[in-house]
Amino acid sequence: MSGIGLELAGVSAAYRGTTVLHEVDLTVTRGELLVVLGPSGAGKSTLLRVVAGLQPAITGRVRIGDRDVTTLRPGRRNVSMVFQSYALFPHLTVRDNITFGLEVRDTPRAVARDRAAAAAAVVGCAHLLDRRPGQLSGGERQRVALARAMVREPDLFLLDEPLSNLDQELRTETRGELKALHLRLGVTTVHVTHDQTEALVLADRIAVMRAGRLEQVGTPDQIWRTPATLFVARFVGSPPMNVLPADGPLRPAGMPVLPAGARIGFRPEAVRVGQDGTDVTVERVDVVGEDAYAYLRLAGGDRIAVRLPAAGRPAVGTTVRCTVAWADTHVFDEAGHRTVLG
Ligand SMILES: Nc1ncnc2c1ncn2[C@@H]1O[C@H](COP(=O)(O)OP(=O)(O)OP(=O)(O)O)[C@@H](O)[C@H]1O
């Protein structure tokens, strides 16, 4: 057996003649949890649907493990998909929801019940087996959907925004459980989200998607520290990375001469506010507990966001000074690609 969990090679997809996935290449290692991250409409769900066989690839090949599944029906791909909506049958009990797929596949009833109980225990919904979906909270429904996906012992899990219907607290908690579950089961997983925190916390690697193409695939650390494009740099991070013309008023100390049209980027936490550096006007300050987010206007009109301790925040309307270290600065060329100097 190869170390490949999933491989897409030159995969495109279209709706009524409009191409929404453009020759995507992606390899997911066996046992890896890959998060596909991108804004609404980027093509994340379409990518999952092509892998699941719910939508045809108009070009390219899809492999799951050692099998080329490009032309296989969804039922023959041994893939389990969990949707945002959970897609549970309201008239069936939790147990019957979990075993539904197994019974369709002719697993003996007693075996199916045992496997449902085991899967329910793993995701913490064993006490809910006799209830119906209408009697469950959102978080409980989500667990049932996961148990139903697990019970089929798939080669690949496809999770499409599985946490997005949960409130903030439950979302954070369930995110942690999902990660623990992945570590325990070790099934290759592709998890789609538009939530950068979810991606950074869960992923072994993140594939950042934009307009039907992959912008960058890398570990959370690589995506954060060496974003390949301006899009990735600004999509991951909150507030987003500041981006200014390299020849603008804020020059990081020690910055070399950069090519014409270059832009510099630095995160809000990289800015030092104090007695030195460039004059800026404090336009707005938001305090969130121990942190403050200050929005500063530069002489040329550009605005930057700064994160600093709430206790040391400047007053709105005052003029302060700020600096950025060259070591904390990212450089992008005119086309928005990361530039490596030297
Ligand atoms: N059934 C459909 N018919 C026509 N166009 C579609 C259909 N489904 C999606 N699209 C289009 O395909 C593109 C990709 O959509 P997709 O749902 O894959 O994006 P997404 O990244 O999953 O977005 P979201 O986060 O909003 O779910 C979008 O431009 C969308 O409008």
Instruction: Kindly report the average pLDDT of the chain as a whole number.
Output: 91
Work out the pLDDT band at 61, boundaries 50, 70, 90. very high
Tell me, what's the ipTM?
Answer: 0.96
Every domain of the chain and the residues it spans: 4-235, 242-332
Residue nearest to atom 14 of ligand 1 (CA): 43
172-207: per-residue pLDDT in tens?
888 888 888 888 889 999 999 999 999 999 999 999
Does the pLDDT of residue 125 top 70, yes or no?
Answer: yes
pLDDT value at position 342?
Answer: 59
Pick the atom of ligand 1 nearest to 43's CA: 18
4-235: CATH superfamily: P-loop containing nucleotide triphosphate hydrolases (3.40.50.300)
pLDDT value at position 155?
Answer: 93
pLDDT value at position 1?
Answer: 55
Residue nearest to atom 18 of ligand 1 (CA): 43
Does the pLDDT of residue 164 top 90, yes or no?
Answer: no
Does the pLDDT of residue 18 top 70, yes or no?
Answer: yes
Retrieve residue 230's tokens: 């301006």
d(CA 61, CA 222): 28
What is the whole-number distance in angstroms between the Cα of residue 190 and the centre of ligand 1?
Answer: 17
Q: Which residues pair with 191 in a beta bridge?
A: 35, 159
**Mean pLDDT (whole number) for 117-129:** 84
**Mean pLDDT (whole number) for 25-47:** 97
Q: What is the CA radius of gyration of the chain?
A: 24
Task: Choose the CATH number for 242-332 among 3.30.450.20, 2.40.50.140, 1.20.1530.20, 3.40.50.720.
Answer: 2.40.50.140
Residue with the two structure tokens 């969804």:
74
Residue with the two structure tokens 């491989």:
7
Work out the pLDDT band at 302, boundaries 50, 70, 90. very high
pLDDT value at position 121?
Answer: 84
Task: Give how far Cα 186 sits from Cα of 73, 91, 190, 231, Å.
Answer: 25, 32, 12, 31
The total number of residues shown for the chain amounts to 342
Pick the atom of ligand 1 nearest to 212's CA: 14
- 84 by DSSP, 3-state: which? coil
> By the 8 A CB rule, do 153 and 128 touch?
no
pLDDT value at position 123?
Answer: 78
What is the whole-number distance in angstroms between the Cα of residue 221 and the centre of ligand 1?
Answer: 28
- 163 by DSSP, 3-state: which? coil
Task: Name residues contacting ligand 1 (CB within 6 A).
Answer: 15, 20, 38, 40-46, 194
Percent of the chain with pLDDT over 70: 98
What DSSP string runs through 216-273? Answer: EEE-HHHHHHS-SBHHHHHHSSSSPPEEEETTSS---BT-----TT-EEEE-GGGEEE
Q: Between helices 138-150 and 109-123, what is the axis angle to 10°?
A: 130
Residue 239 CB neighbours (<10 A): 16
Retrieve residue 317's tokens: 């309307």
Confidence (pTM)? 0.91
d(CA 320, CA 278): 8
Mutate to test the pocket of ligand 1, among 18, 19, 20 (most ligand atoms within 8 A of CB): 20
- 75 by DSSP, 3-state: which? helix
> By the 8 A CB rule, do 47 and 21 touch?
yes
Least confident of 9-18, 55-64, 93-102, 190-199: 93-102
**Mean pLDDT (whole number) for 65-77:** 94
Q: Between residues 86 and 139, which one has the greater pLDDT?
A: 139
**Mean pLDDT (whole number) for 259-285:** 94
pLDDT value at position 103?
Answer: 65
d(CA 328, CA 304): 15
pLDDT value at position 105?
Answer: 63
Does the pLDDT of residue 132 top 80, yes or no?
Answer: yes
> By the 8 A CB rule, do 57 and 50 touch?
yes
pLDDT value at position 308?
Answer: 95
- 278 by DSSP, 3-state: which? strand
Q: Which residues pair with 28 in a beta bridge?
A: 6
